[in-house]
Amino acid sequence: MSNKIIPLNDGVEGLFIQNNRFNTTSISFNFYLPMKKSTVAVNALLPFILTSCGKDYPDFTALNLKLNKLYGARLDASCEKYGDCQLLRMTISVIDDKFSFDSDSLVLEASELLLKLVFSPNVENGEFAVNDVEREKRKAIEHIRGEIAEKRVYAKNRMISEMFVGTPYGIPKCGTVDDVMAVTPRSLYDAWQNMLETAFVRVHVVGAAVPQRLFENIKEKFEGINRHDITDCKVCKPAQKSDKVNTVFEKMDVKQGKIVMGFSSDMYGDDDLSLPLLVMCDIFGGGPYSRLFTNVREKMSLCYYCAATSVRYKGLLMVDSGVETENAKKAIDEILNQLEIMKKGEFLDSEFESSIKSICHSMKTYYDSQNSLDLWYALKINNRNLYSPEDIIEMIKAITKEDVIYAAKGVNLHTVYKLLPKEGVIC
């Protein structure tokens, strides 16, 4: 694999990820903007409205016809939270030219289509079309309400909002329903201009080759834009220690209680600094060999599920579990007991070895799809070194049990969020 970053403009880069395993080429625009309460909802709508229509394709019917002519090329959009930044992604995937019967380059046509959608949207008089905006607002509201309905997701999001209250990371990645309702055709147009002017931008190409003149065309597009106040993706404040555990509870119409525990970590940052925390978290609660699964869930039957995840660049470790109300306190106590076992280094060598093997295997799966490989690099923007999944595998293999113990000792409970049934006591 060959990965090379190509500077294109102030805060604009191209990245070619050469991979011959796939029969398609994927091209993605990745825009990084600061997480702000005032702009998070309007920004979140941008990738979706830009990939649903454009100046040359004023409705999805016209756009879909063009995609069909490109042998069923696929457009995708997403909005992610990345540290203290909001990541807006727009991707097109098309079969490689060698599989088509046309003399023209399908990959080149697909790249030109994506450029048109990003830089020439369906706007008039400084506003997006009202119908387009209302459609995307309805979809965004459905998405937000869907996350609220999924109580495990809701509980994790609520814990994060409490633990990081008043900071960018505590803001929901797509805003609230009220935030979305406040978006107007004009405010969305202003957000689009601001994205082009101030976002840090990286364009990825995953495939056998870079489309002809793609990076040159992108460079020319940005030369006509007044780039200023470029987002610094490397500014990301880690979770802070708390002198007192913050406990929050909420009652809703649920049958099963949800407990999410948020821990701060002294180990945080990019892969050069925080990989032992990844292994520690996995042994603690990552797989069927983990301490939380084998003890809290299986042996003691205190939870329906109990798992740990980490957001290493934020120095955040989370444990989420589903419990009966009467078992909630016992579950919390045992989770903390298992953390103490990790800190003392009393976990088994077999658990350590199973975790290393499992993590290395999961890293290899990034090569199974272009989207996974593309997203891997999109979520590594803060890394000082451009590591591939293969590079991380070798780094993981070098981690020792002592490294894991050191990482565990820096983990401290910060916030406990409890989502409880309406009927019953507060545990």
Residues 309-348: tens digit of each pLDDT? 999 999 999 999 999 999 999 999 999 999 999 999 999 9
Residue-level pLDDT at 1: 42
Residue-level pLDDT at 405: 98
Residue 274 domain flag = yes
- When divided into structural domains, the chain yields a total of 2
Say which DSSP state 171 is in: S
Looking at the structure, tell me whether residues 148 and 193 fall in a common domain.
Answer: yes
Looking at the structure, tell me whether residues 84 and 143 fall in a common domain.
Answer: yes
Q: What gap in Å lies between CA 38 and CA 36, rounded to an integer?
A: 5
Q: What gap in Å lies between CA 325 and CA 419, rounded to an integer?
A: 10
Looking at the structure, tell me whether residues 110 and 256 fall in a common domain.
Answer: no
Q: What gap in Å lies between CA 168 and CA 84, rounded to an integer?
A: 5
Looking at the structure, tell me whether residues 216 and 359 fall in a common domain.
Answer: no
Alpha-helical regions (H) of 345-384:
349-364, 370-378
Q: What gap in Å lies between CA 57 and CA 63, rounded to an integer?
A: 5
Domain encompassing residue 362: 246-421
Q: Which of 215-221's residues contact partners 24+ apart within 8 Å by CB, and which partners? A: 215/6, 215/8, 215/14, 217/111, 217/112, 217/115, 218/8, 218/12, 218/14, 218/115, 219/8, 219/9, 219/12, 221/115, 221/119
The predicted model scores a pTM of 0.94
Q: What gap in Å lies between CA 363 and CA 238, rounded to an integer?
A: 24
Residue-level pLDDT at 184: 98
- Please give the single-letter amino acid code of residue 191: A
Q: Which stretches of the chain drop beneath a pLDDT of 70?
A: 1-2, 102-104, 424-427
CA torsion sign, 114 to 120 to 126 to 127? negative
Q: What gap in Å lies between CA 14 and CA 417, rounded to an integer?
A: 41
CB atoms within 10 A of CB 368: 11
Question: Which one of 223, 238, 266 terminates a domain?
Answer: 223
Two tokens, residue 218: 């992108």
CATH number, domain with residue 115 = 3.30.830.10
- Please give the single-letter amino acid code of residue 157: N
Residue 233 domain flag = no
Looking at the structure, tell me whether residues 194 and 287 fall in a common domain.
Answer: no
Q: Are strands 316-323 and 3-9 parallel, antiparallel or unpaired?
A: unpaired
Looking at the structure, tell me whether residues 46 and 146 fall in a common domain.
Answer: yes
Residue 165 domain flag = yes
Two tokens, residue 343: 């800190």
CB 303 within 8 A of CB 331: yes
